[in-house]
Amino acid sequence: MTGRLGMWEHARYSSPRPEHGYCTDDNARALMVVSRQSDDSDDLLELARIYLAFLEAAALPNGGFHNRRSADGAWTDTIGSDDSQGRAIWGLGSAAHLGQEPRIRQRALDMFEQQEGFASASPRANAFAVLGASHILNRHPAHRWAKPALARWVGHLRTSGDPLWPWPEHRLAYDNARIPEALMAAGKALGDGLLVDQGTRLLAWLVATETSDGHFSFTPAGGWAPGEPRPGFDQQPVEAAAMADACSLAWSLTGDDRWKDHLERAGRWFLGSNDRKVILYDVATGGGYDGLTPSGPNLNQGAESTLAALSTLQQIGKLV
């Protein structure tokens, strides 16, 4: 799925579809996945360099990033969505913290330095940015602006006072577990136990809301609110990946083995523990299927879904 300029966005089955081009969202995700892989092989280093170079090319002079790029390398937008900005910040933070070589870490840090002015009203975009800043603070605790920016961004993740619906939005949308994950990561970075508790409570609510008969029944692509039917389709692999990451963080912060169990359950979603009891991971190619539909898997293996499967497998590896 990776070409000379970056990771292709879409696939027909396991073959990339260059006519759909690239996006910053997926290349930021890809940079995260390779950065947290402890293997420092030449192949992984080359992939990290490609994805980082994509973000460097996407970067705008005064902060922010393009998102959409055609197969010939031309940018087709003026500036990307708020979510793509947050994901780029997150990818850079991951590489600055975990990148396999000093040059990668420094280049990522240099680009992160240009994003101090990022601002969005979107809870999800702020959650992504929080996760990026928390990576920076893990490696550079005295960074000149990461901590106040993180505090500003996490301020957009206010939960509701309703115990039946504590979610900060009127409906669940996508990448849902990133919000409690960001609350926990911010709490750790700021030394704020209340934020950690808030994140773990919100994550526990989300786990309960998205559990059916002992397996995860994730929010569908169109979102979900009380009163709407469940299960919903199409369910997206990014939900399982977000859940795995959030539960892994909760487990590391609390030592409570229930989070370990939920992490394992997020991994089993790819292996048939889902609403249609079908496999959503192609062992032969290493690709993740593009969603769970009412009739089974969407057999295309695009970048987002493949990276979600690989990311979840990385977290499952911690259980071994």
- The residue assigned the tokens 């759909």 is 20
Residue 82 region, left (φ>0) first, then alpha (ψ -120 to 50), else beta?
alpha
Q: How confident is the model at residue 38 (pLDDT cuts 50, 70, 90)?
A: confident
Q: Tell me what the mean pLDDT of segment 187-206 comes to.
A: 98
Q: What is the pLDDT of residue 150?
A: 98
Q: What tens digit of pLDDT does each residue of 100-142 get?
A: 999 999 999 999 999 999 999 999 999 999 999 999 999 999 9
Q: For 84-153, give the DSSP string.
A: HHHHHHHHHHHHHHH-SSHHHHHHHHHHHGGGTT---S-HHHHHHHHHHHHHHHHH-TT-TTHHHHHHHH
pLDDT at residue 40 is higher than 90: no
Helices (H), the chain: 24-35, 42-58, 82-98, 102-112, 123-139, 146-154, 178-190, 193-209, 237-254, 257-270, 303-316
Within 10 A of 230 (CB to CB), how many other CB atoms are there?
Answer: 12
d(CA 210, CA 204): 10
CA nearest 70: which of 19, 10, 24?
Answer: 19
**Does the structure show a pLDDT above 80 at 320?**
no
Task: Tell whether omega for the bond before 294 is within 30 degrees of 0, i.e. cis.
Answer: no
- Nearest-CA neighbor of 308 among 6, 99, 25? 25
- pLDDT in the model for residue 9: 98
Indicate if the pLDDT at residue 31 is higher than 80: yes
SS3 76: coil
pLDDT tens string 157-167: 989 889 999 99
Residue 39, pLDDT > 90, answer no
| pTM of this prediction exceeds 0.95 | yes
pLDDT of residue 1: 97
- Please determine, for residue 10, whether its predicted confidence score (pLDDT) is greater than 90: yes
What's the pLDDT at 30? 98
**CA–CA dist 235, 50 (Å, integer):** 30
DSSP 8-class letter at 18: G
The answer to whether the CB of 121 falls within 8 A of the CB of 169 is no
Per-residue pLDDT, averaged over 254-267, amounts to 98
Distance of CA 229 to the CA centre of its chain: 26
Q: Amino acid identity, residue 227?
A: G
Q: How far apart are the C-alpha atoms of 31 and 88, rounded to whole Å? A: 9
For 60-97, the pLDDT digits (tens) are: 999 999 999 999 999 999 999 999 999 999 999 999 99
Average pLDDT, the chain: 97
Label residue 194 exposed, middle or buried (CB < 10 Å: 0-12, 13-18, 19+): exposed
Do 106 and 139 touch, CB atoms closer than 8 A?
Answer: no
Provide mean pLDDT across the span 160-184.
Answer: 96
Question: Does position 196 have pLDDT exceeding 80, yes or no?
Answer: yes
Instruction: Check whether 281 has a pLDDT greater than 90.
Output: yes
Domain spans of the chain, in order of start? 1-115
* pLDDT tops 90 at residue 36: yes
Q: What is the DSSP letter of 194?
A: H
At 272, which amino acid appears? G
pLDDT recorded at residue 169 = 95
Helix (H, G, I), strand (E, B) or coil at 155: coil
3-state SS class at 53: helix
